[in-house]
Amino acid sequence: MRIFASLRSIISALFHRSLVEKEIEEELRAHIQDRANDLERSGVPRAEAERRARLDFGDYQKFKEEIREAQGTHSLETLIQDLRYALRMLRKSPGFTAVAVLTLALGIGANTAIFSVTDTLLFRSLPFHRPDRIALLQNAIVEDSFPPHDTVKQFHDWAQRSTYLADAAVFEGIDANLGGGRGVVRAHIVQTSWNFFSVLGTQPTVGHGFARDDEVDATGFGLPGRNAVAVIGYGLWQELFGGDPKALGATISVEGNRLMVIGVAPRGFDYPDHCVLWKPAAFSRGNNGWVAIARLKPGISWAHARSAFAVEVAPQLPKPAKTESPDLAPQLLSLQDGLLGPVKNATLLLLGAVLLVLLMACTNVANLLIARTADRRVELSVRAALGASRGRLARQLLTECLLLSLVAAIAGLLAAYWTVPLAAIVEPPPLGVQSYSVLNGHVLAFTLAASVIAAMLFGLLPVLDIGNLRVLGPQPSATSRGARVIRQAVVAAQVMLTMVLLSASVMVGHAFAHIMSTDRGYNVKAIATVSVSLGGTTYQSGDRQLPYFEEVLDRVRNLAAVRSVSATEFLPLDARGFIGGDFGIDGHPAKRNSMIVPVFANYFQTMGGQILYGREFNDAEVRSGAKVAVVNERFAAGFGEPSQAIGRRLTTASGSSWQIVGVVKGMDYETDPTLINPFQVFIPPAHPGIFPPATFVARVDAPVESHLSAIRDTIRSVDTDVPVFGAETMQQRLNELFAHPRFYRFIIWTFTGFALLLIVAGTYGLLAYTVARRTSEIGIRMALGATRTNVGRMVLGEAFLTVCVGIIGGAPLIFWIKRLAGSLMGSAPGSLTAPIAFGALAILAVALLAAYIPARCAMRVDPVVALRYE
Amino acid sequence: MPERAQILPGTLDLLILKAVSLGPLYGYGILLRIEQISHGALLIEQGALYPALFRLVRQRLLKAHWDTSENNRRTKFYELTTAGRKRLRQEEEGWNRLVIAIASALKAQPEEI
């Protein structure tokens, strides 16, 4: 109540200011009047009485000011006064204001942008029921036995028996051809256990979810009318049925199988992986594409669930454990963390880096401010002499800082508003309902807090400097040791941070160049790729597939720019869900499973792969379905001299066999070197029935991009009903795969550029200011015989010393940043000598460049002119 | 005129509360009342009275209202609130304790130590 009352009195005091003011005047005047009357009555003449009464009363204005202060309107009024004054000061020095606002706006804007991403990904909860209780069993199903899911019953029994999970669901995302509307389209769909929706706590908005007996124990699509059902996404519902509830009961074709629509998912629900359709899972043995999610039992803590899971999964793990990175080990994660994966750490790391940038911006503005406060000593001491307390002056300076910071925050928000959409391109949010937005409470609060804290940070040093203010007598010179050491320390700190960023830039740039130039066993530059899928089309049946492929290959081969063309089931770097096989030679099994890649004739010639011995398949072998194979060198080396493998038989445990006609160098089918399967076997597509999805590859003349549409249109011209998608050059595919490292490199380089600019501004500010302050000293030195070179050396020497201190201080931090850079780029950067040397040289060069102008100014000082001022 | 003592810092509030406790008063009246009850022994900077009055009103120890005085002029009167009365009692006790303590301290003789 007290607060309300005083607030009311403040507000009424503000609004009725003139009235209150008048009443105070009235009261005080009455007092003086009464006093004068009394004195007159005691015999003093009227004029003298009035004079004495005023004298007795004391300093009228001072007491009036004290009354105002006692009334509590003071602080607000002071604030307004301070703000007006601050605005005037900022307008008066547009150069300083522009540099300070720009520096801060970049810092705050970058923070806002990164925070809005972090907020969406990490801090806002997922749009499911009690999302904090949903777990992802990460990579639990690596070795096809855990959780048990050979049959429907096995899996659900396991979930029901669990002591720490209330329920669990499995699913598998697949790309499929969807028919039902206009033509056949390629879409991402998911097959789930029947309880998928209930584990998430989301129910279809129209219709219902799956029932217990919708699942089937077979690799099939269920029985018509029973489990051949689907829940469709809201978007698909709008697109195919115009949002009509009569869609329930309609059929939709998935890879040529007709499924009945039984429900529509809520708007924006597209978990997992932006899928558009959910269908019941067909359980079968050995499916390693499954993902499991679960809901924790009520009352079970995450720590408990995690350890219980670890205990349960341990005996299922293969021994010895594969040499996978620990991030991929089976573990129970919260769904939110699971959705993010490695992005989580990168996001937090970026947030840290961007805070560092803001810190640097703050130090720079602090440096500028100290210089300016020193310039304003005369003004400040006049104000102090007129009765302003130190606190009052400090408040004035802080108000100026806050104003600067808030103006910068607005500019920063605008900058973030324009840049955040870029982040959505590099790292789209995992769920459709999530989006990166700047204009929401969390982000605005963060920006406000960041700007206020920044203002406090960069305002602190100048305000502390006020302590040295003297009202009378000579002002302590700003070149006094203390002030200068502070400013040098600030520049040195900037150098230190920039040193870290610069070396990180070198490491990251080096790592990225390494990634992009790695020899992956095929030609990246000249390959165009286009995918098709025959599922659900008229070519689905086995005997119609080969003619389709031959027709496409023929037509593409005849294009002018195409040198060579072939096709494969899946491309290198895109080995999701590859087929593995237990291969050997002449009945002797290889040490481990091999990956098997079905390819057409001329595949290696087209891809630029290296054939070491023998040859690859020809058209006749592909057409006749000849049992021939090509193996890679590593596989062949397991059975003696690789060149001797030609002509031997490639065999499987189940008795199939192929004649080996060639040995090749092999290709990188994964980007992570530890995950690349060293054993690769290439065979012609099986007969009858090849494979529904396939990718055509063509080696074309440069520029590759310009031929993509011609190839795509040619393939489409064979049959417009076949979905043709993914027309990209191999280089584009590679770039997409490494979009994250590329983005991190871009960000770090941007930050570094920004930091270098700050160093230029900081060093220049420091030296220009010192030189200006020391003009007379320099004059005396020159009058006493110092040469221009001596003076120039003195100024450059100061810059050199400051920068060296920063460089030496920053060097140890680089060892620490090395690990972070490695984790960002997915590979450890090599030696540290180059980054450190480059960082040190670049900073020195930049700082000396910035010092050049002040040094020249100092050298041009004319002793006669300089000394005239004193 | 007897020799006047400069009042101790912080005692002005106490004097004002005491003066007003004897009946509602306007500004100049408070000054006169304090001179009267202190037998003119205290020297008060007259203007300093008003910031103190405004402060006490804001602390809700006094309340103020405008009224017509005996000579028919619009005048601002101050009177004690309940909180003010309580505060006056506390301050009086505190003051008396202080006076006794200081007095006995000042009376101390060398042999007592």
Strands A257-264 and A251-254, sheet pairing: antiparallel
Residues A32-69 pLDDT 10s:
888 888 888 888 888 888 888 888 888 888 888 778 77
Quick check: A224 pLDDT over 70? no
- Among the listed residues A636, A688, A685, the one whose alpha carbon sits nearest the alpha carbon of residue A662: A636
Greater confidence, A768 or A336? A336
Quick check: A375 pLDDT over 90? no
- A and B: number of Cβ contacts within 8 A: 55
Q: What is the pLDDT of residue A319?
A: 59
What mean pLDDT comes out for the span A346-371? 82
Contact yes or no for B75 and A6 at CB 8 A: no
Chain A within 8 Å of B75 (Cβ-Cβ)? yes
Give, in order, the Cα–Cα distances in Å from A56 to each of A36, A161, A210, B33.
10, 94, 94, 17
Contact yes or no for A57 and B46 at CB 8 A: yes
Chain A within 8 Å of B10 (Cβ-Cβ)? no
Contact yes or no for A60 and B47 at CB 8 A: yes
Nearest residue, CB atoms, A71 vs list B54, B74, B76: B54
Nearest residue, CB atoms, A30 vs list B28, B45, B47: B28
Q: Which residues of A touch chain B, with CB atoms under 8 Å apart?
A: 6, 9, 23-24, 26-28, 30-31, 34-35, 56-60, 62-63, 66-67, 69-72
Confidence class for position A570, pLDDT limits 50, 70, 90: confident
Residues A454-480 pLDDT 10s:
888 888 877 776 666 655 445 555 445
Cα B79 → chain centroid:
13
Q: Please give the share of chain B, as a percent, with pLDDT higher than 90.
A: 0
Contact yes or no for A67 and B75 at CB 8 A: no
Contact yes or no for A69 and B51 at CB 8 A: yes
Q: How far is A84 from chain B (nearest CA, A)?
A: 27
Q: Which residues pair with A187 in a beta bridge?
A: A176
Helix axes A60-71, A17-41, angle to 10 degrees: 140
Nearest CA in chain B to A36: B28
Contact yes or no for A70 and B26 at CB 8 A: no
Q: What is the pLDDT of residue A261?
A: 92
Disruptive mutation site among A33, A35, A63 for chain B (greatest number of B CBs within 10 Å): A63
Q: What is the pLDDT of residue A326?
A: 55
> What residues does each domain of chain A span?
2-72, 140-329, 343-516+739-868, 527-737
Nearest CA in chain A to B57: A71
Structural domain count, chain B: 1
Residue B113 within any structural domain of the chain: no
- Among the listed residues A700, A736, A683, A744, the one whose alpha carbon sits nearest the alpha carbon of residue A608: A700
Lowest mean pLDDT among A18-32, A165-179, A587-601, A785-799: A18-32
CB-CB neighbors (< 8 A) of A69 in chain B: 51
Lowest mean pLDDT among A65-69, A174-178, A689-693: A689-693
Residues B90-110 pLDDT 10s:
888 888 888 888 888 888 887
Contact yes or no for A30 and B26 at CB 8 A: yes
Residues A616-642 pLDDT 10s:
999 999 888 889 999 999 999 989 899
CB-CB neighbors (< 8 A) of A31 in chain B: 27-28, 31, 46, 49-50
Quick check: A76 pLDDT over 90? no
User: Which pTM does this prediction carry?
Assistant: 0.69
Q: Please give the share of chain A, as a percent, with pLDDT higher than 90.
A: 21
Q: Report the mean per-residue pLDDT for chain A.
A: 82
Chain A within 8 Å of B74 (Cβ-Cβ)? yes
Residues B51-73 pLDDT 10s:
888 888 888 888 888 888 777 77
CB-CB neighbors (< 8 A) of A35 in chain B: 28, 46
Chain A within 8 Å of B45 (Cβ-Cβ)? yes
Neighbours of A246 (CB within 10 A): 9
Give, in order, the Cα–Cα distances in Å from A683 to each of A434, A449, A625, A691.
43, 62, 10, 13
Q: What is the pLDDT of residue B2?
A: 46
Q: How far is A868 from chain B (nearest CA, A)?
A: 51
Contact yes or no for B26 and A66 at CB 8 A: no
What mean pLDDT comes out for the span A545-562? 92
Q: Which range in A262-271, A280-289, A743-752 is most confidently predicted, on average pLDDT?
A: A262-271
Q: How far is A59 from chain B (nearest CA, A)?
A: 7
Neighbours of A128 (CB within 10 A): 20
Lowest mean pLDDT among A623-632, A653-662, A861-870: A861-870
Chain A within 8 Å of B47 (Cβ-Cβ)? yes
Decide if A765 contacts A373 (C-beta within 8 A).
no
* φ and ψ at residue A829, rounded to 5 degrees: -70, 155
Contact yes or no for B54 and A70 at CB 8 A: yes
Lowest mean pLDDT among A122-131, A309-318, A692-701, A842-851: A309-318
Strands B25-26 and A331-334, sheet pairing: unpaired
Confidence class for position A73, pLDDT limits 50, 70, 90: low
Say whether A864 sits in a helix, a strand or coil. Answer: helix
Contact yes or no for B50 and A63 at CB 8 A: yes
**Rounded Cα distance, A270 and A266, in Å:** 9
What mean pLDDT comes out for the span A230-244? 90
Contact yes or no for A63 and B73 at CB 8 A: no
What mean pLDDT comes out for the span A425-452? 85
Q: Please give the share of chain A, as a percent, with pLDDT higher than 70.
A: 87
Cα A318 → chain centroid:
35
Q: How far is A55 from chain B (nearest CA, A)?
A: 9
CB-CB neighbors (< 8 A) of A67 in chain B: 50-51, 54
Q: How far is A267 from chain B (nearest CA, A)?
A: 58
The CATH number for B27's domain is 1.10.10.10
CB-CB neighbors (< 8 A) of B55 in chain A: 70
Residue B112 within any structural domain of the chain: no
Neighbours of A728 (CB within 10 A): 22
Q: Which range in A64-73, A122-131, A296-305, A840-849 is most confidently predicted, on average pLDDT?
A: A296-305
DSSP code for A329: S
Nearest residue, CB atoms, B28 vs list A34, A60, A67: A34
Confidence class for position A758, pLDDT limits 50, 70, 90: confident
Q: How far is B92 from chain A (nearest CA, A)?
A: 24
Lowest mean pLDDT among A579-583, A703-707, A746-750: A579-583
**Rounded Cα distance, A697 and A565, in Å:** 6
**Rounded Cα distance, A648 and A658, in Å:** 9
- Among the listed residues A763, A789, A827, A608, the one whose alpha carbon sits nearest the alpha carbon of residue A699: A608
Quick check: A518 pLDDT over 90? no
CB-CB neighbors (< 8 A) of B36 in chain A: none
Quick check: A737 pLDDT over 80? yes
Confidence class for position A709, pLDDT limits 50, 70, 90: very high
Contact yes or no for A58 and B28 at CB 8 A: no
Range of the domain at B97: 5-107
Nearest CA in chain A to B56: A70
Question: ipTM of this predicted complex?
Answer: 0.86
Q: What is the pLDDT of residue A490?
A: 80
Contacts 24+ apart (CB under 8 A), A85-93: A85/A396, A85/A399, A86/A396, A86/A399, A86/A400, A86/A403, A87/A403, A89/A400, A90/A400, A90/A403, A90/A404, A93/A372
Q: Which amino acid is at A520?
A: R
Q: What is the pLDDT of residue A223?
A: 45
Confidence class for position A574, pLDDT limits 50, 70, 90: confident
